[in-house]
Amino acid sequence: MQAGLPIIATNSGGQVDLIEENENGWLVNPEDPESLAEKIDELADLPDLRKTMSSNNLEKVDAYDIKGIASRYLSLLETVQKDED
């Protein structure tokens, strides 16, 4: 995603929360290699969609605020520690 490429991944794990079908990539069943191959072939034949997905991925990465997320985790940790004391 950070490289600005379309994503084809399995529909299990954390990537499910990041990939929006037809917007920035596709999700396939991990037990279905034929579907994975079909999506790769399909994306290879659709340069406009590749560009759109690439652009959408770069926008999503830019919107991701790692410092803000880290700050919220730190605040949560401090709250938990205070509750334990």
Q: Evaluate whether 25 touches 55 at the Cβ level (below 8 Å).
A: no
Q: Where are the alpha helices (DSSP H) in the chain?
A: 15-18, 33-44, 47-63, 66-84
Residue 52 pLDDT class (50, 70, 90 cuts): very high
Give the position of tokens 């191959």. Answer: 37
pTM for the full predicted model? 0.72
pLDDT tens string 16-47:
989 999 999 999 999 999 999 999 999 999 99
